[in-house]
Copies of this chain bind each other. A is one copy, B any other.
Amino acid sequence: MEDLNEIIEQIGSLLNERNYYSIKELLKESEPADLSIILEEFPQKLATLFRLLPKDLAAEVFVEMETDSQESLLTLLTDSEMKEVMNELYIDDTVDIIEEMPANVVKRMLNNSDVETRKIINDILKYPTDSAGSLMTTEYVSLDEDITVEDALKRIRRTGVDKETIYTCYVTKPDRTLLGYITAKKLLLSDENMVISDIMETNVIFVNTHEDKEVVAKEMSKYDLLAIPVVDNENRLVGIITVDDAIDVIEEEATEDIEKMAAIIPSDKPYLATSPFEIWKNRIPWLILLMLTSTFTSQIITSFESKLASCVILTAFIPMIMGSGGNAGGQTSVTIIRGLATEEISLKDVFRILFKELRVSVLCGAVLGIATFLKMLLIDNLLLRNSEVTVNIAAVVSFTLIITIIVAKLVGCLLPLFAKRLGLDPAVMASPFITTIVDALSLLIYLGIAGALIPGLN
């Protein structure tokens, strides 16, 4: 980060001096991911700086840039410059960029790619977003099964430069049916005269073009794959997905789950690039829904109003009971939701989970109940001299808290599992949702226990 700011400063002053030669030398030294950040610091000079990059590096930098910068750069480049960049891009990156560009830019991009590439791009664009097909690249190494290792290495040497990876090569029939794979490591370590079909792995992990990209990333992580082949419905190899894209998917999916857990409708767009109106659209639906469902709590309080009026001190502990219940339930639901997402737990564990959470909730409830009882008598009554906080009231609040914690944790573990069972996304069953349910339940428990234990109340 330090270095980056230094480079940006240097380039700033070199730009003022119009010392383009030094800028060129300076840029050559950096990584594409850093160069994109550097270039974006100079929106006015974007095209100038971009033109100073070596051709192969330019395309890599372009891929790393924000959508806005890509768009403004594309409008500044000449057709022949655009053609050069497009030639260096991998197909999957081209498709990603095209998906974000306005129609006129897309048209120019397609016009500046050769006929074959244009056809492939159009094919990939047809796959649903979030599918393996939309994520894949068609630039893989395929080998015939009857050639020797020597021939295979020759083929890699001849065609490898344009392939996104040469480290896993796919063995296919002439009609592209996937037969197996062989790693570059195996090729390098095998005798040159061996025949591919004798040494290839036939136990291939592959995905269908329509598979969800989250599932694809999980498979790659589970089996430690550097690339996974993507096949169509006839088992013909149509592309591969490489591990760097899988990592992006894993990070995006985690962000998405976190957003859902926080009652936000997930969006792919970076926060800083999203307008307040769009952010509002992603946040307001859950806020309204949760506000409406809290009508229940209002109703419960209203129906106990006369009792509460005769013992208002009880209302002072409603926020604490609801808050603790919400926190306890949220802890459990988030644990279960994440466990389901990482496949650490599954539906068949439901009874083990329930029994475990029951024991945890009794432990938590007991400790929290005792702590509250002592706190109310020592702090509220003795220290803060609130004479209304009697032993009786403290007992009602503590006892309520114990039951609430147990109920909250059981609700918190059952709801996500239930959602999963119904084929819904467990992530929406997180804290805000659980809280609303636990709020109503804890109030009923509170007022029920108060009615039973406080003589004048009923």
Residues of A188-238 whose CB lies within 8 A of B: 188-189, 203, 205, 220-224, 226
The 9 closest A-B pairs by CB, nearest first: A262-B334, A254-B254, A276-B359, A294-B320, A301-B316, A224-B244, A297-B319, A280-B363, A298-B316
Determine whether A431 belongs to the interface, using a CB cutoff of 8 Å to chain B: yes
Determine whether A126 belongs to the interface, using a CB cutoff of 8 Å to chain B: no
A288 and chain B: residue at smallest CB distance: B371
Query: Which residues of chain B come closer than 8 Å to A161, judged between CB atoms?
Result: 189
Interface of A (DSSP majority class): helix
Distance, CA A331 to CA B167, complexed state (A): 43
Is B324 a contact of A316 with CB atoms below 8 Å? no
Instruction: Pick from B188, B222, B280, B324: contact of A157, CB below 8 A.
Output: B188
Contact with B along A287-300 (1 / 0, CB 8 A): 11011101101110
Residues of A135-170 whose CB lies within 8 A of B: 153, 156-157, 160-161, 166-167
Distance, CA A367 to CA B277, complexed state (A): 12
Is B319 a contact of A301 with CB atoms below 8 Å? yes
Is B287 a contact of A360 with CB atoms below 8 Å? no
Residues of A277-318 whose CB lies within 8 A of B: 277, 279-280, 283-284, 286-288, 290-292, 294-295, 297-299, 301-302, 305, 308-309, 312-313, 315-318
Q: How many chain-A residues does the 8 Å CB contact rule pick out?
A: 114
- Given known A295-B380, A360-B279, A375-B295, contact A287–B328 (CB-CB < 8 A): yes
Distance, CA A220 to CA B33, complexed state (A): 11
A147 to chain B, nearest CB (A): 16
Contact with B along A322-348 (1 / 0, CB 8 A): 111011101100110011001011000
Distance, CA A439 to CA B319, complexed state (A): 8
Query: Which residues of chain B come closer than 8 Å to A286, judged between CB atoms?
Result: 327, 331
Is B243 a contact of A221 with CB atoms below 8 Å? no
Determine whether A247 belongs to the interface, using a CB cutoff of 8 Å to chain B: yes
Query: Which residues of chain B come closer than 8 Å to A432, judged between CB atoms?
Result: 326-327, 330
- Given known A305-B316, A330-B431, contact A291–B368 (CB-CB < 8 A): yes
Distance, CA A263 to CA B408, complexed state (A): 15
Instruction: Pick from B156, B284, B315, B335: contact of A259, CB below 8 A.
Output: B335
